[in-house]
Structure 1
Amino acid sequence: MAGLSGRKENRLIEAARAAAEKGDWQEAISVWEKLLKESEVDSPVEAYRGISKAKRKLGQLGRVAEVSKRFGDVPHMNESRAHVMTEIIRQNRCQRLLELGFAHGKSSAYIAACLEDIGEGHLTTIDLEKARSREPNIEQMLDSMGLSHRVEPIFAQKSYIWELTRMIQDGAGPRFDFCYIDGGHTWEVTGFGFVLVDMLLEPGGIVILDDMDWCLANSPAAKRKPAKLAKLSNDEKNAKGVRMTYELLAPQLGYRQLGEKPEFGFGWGLLQKPRH
């Protein structure tokens, strides 16, 4: 990577913002992409967001826009998050993707649509067996969009932890260059899951952690199980397991923090594994 001085980097950021202000969306895309390519920018999330906004204005979203049109009311991934995620996939040329937690499969459909537009890539995604009973479910969504060939859904009996363990046990080594983690959320599940993902992630791979500021104390689902909550200390109830993974665990494994998007629900955290 060529590298830019801080002053030149700031000039590019201002130029991209100015182009967007004027409605010169193609110029904004060019400048943001130059910044991502030539700079180890501390927080590239603004660049990804800027590119996705410009492409939306120019009508360059392809099949990703079709997912929004057909399944806009299906939870849980919304359009603005999908645009940023798919731009991260494009800009980092991700081809072997992993997703932990798919619910209805809407996020999976967005990712598959992005890969189909690119013309290559495959997603492995894991959720619980009960996800089959959702309406619509992931298979229905992918089939209706003609995207089933881009995705392998795995339905786990208990959690994604054991499915990741099976992958590690097969001896094939690291195989993914992107992972979106949106399941588990507690420190025990997310923290250990992240360690397993690290064992399967190639150098330079990207990780998106969803629900950074979620905790059991603010979870309506957890509150419906008072007996389970009663066994926990207040510290455990208020622990933000995803944020702890981002702030405590990821740096210990050498990951670069690429920034946060606090406006995305309980927040996103973006990480990159060391290249060496």
Structure 2
Amino acid sequence: MNELSLAAVAAPPVRLGNLSAGFADRSVLRQITVEAPAGRVLAIVGPSGCGKSTVLRCINRLHELDEGAFVSGDVSIGAFSAYSPRADVIALRRRVGMVFQRPTPFVTLSVFDNVASGLRAQRRSLPPSELEGLVELALQRAGLWREVVDRLFGSAMALSGGQQQRLCIARALAVQPDVLLLDEPTASLDPMGTQRIEELLYDLRDTVTVIMVTHNMQQAARISDVTAFLLDGRVVECAPTRQLFTTPTDARTEAYITGRFG
């Protein structure tokens, strides 16, 4: 397989409008309105239990799968309204990749087959040469190609934790999503693995819109373009990252980012 050039593609903005969510006996999100700029990184920060992960699960409509769950408001990805009565949920999830806190490679599959799994599900008649090219492209975009090129057909579980997480990102990128959701993607990694994931997310700008949940204030400051601070299910403040971290407009934001609570 040959090296492929990575041409930039248009990425859409993601807008949440008056988004509320929760369960029959409690609210988790309360009229969230926030925008992730096209082709940039939005970091969502806030104390445990404030609703950060629920935001991600609402974007790709996983939240509603839980018993007793409710959602109101809207999520739009470019011109596509995720909660329109005519919305195709399967098509939505093809446009929105998700990576979880702990690496979740398919344990019985090789490195190659992990990345190829989504492609095979979407395009059953994909020629082998095209499949190989798309797998290589995804591994390149995830910064993993050179590390695994000689063991593509070995077990994914033989990779380090950081490599497994980048493999999961490659798997999500393989189907060329418009949006990538990441829920604490470096929480279980060592500093070197964390650095590589952060460099990868920085390099993905322009090609995909990234929305990342993190507890790590330094991480948000390093790699995000916009940061939203959530507290008790509400957006307290959302602003360009440098502005939010240096001149927040709300005293609660300043208290959180300086470590006085949370």
**TM-score, with structure 1 as normaliser:** 0.31
More helix by share: 1
Larger relative contact order (Cα-Cα within 8 Å, sequence gap ≥ 6): 2
**TM-score, with structure 2 as normaliser:** 0.32
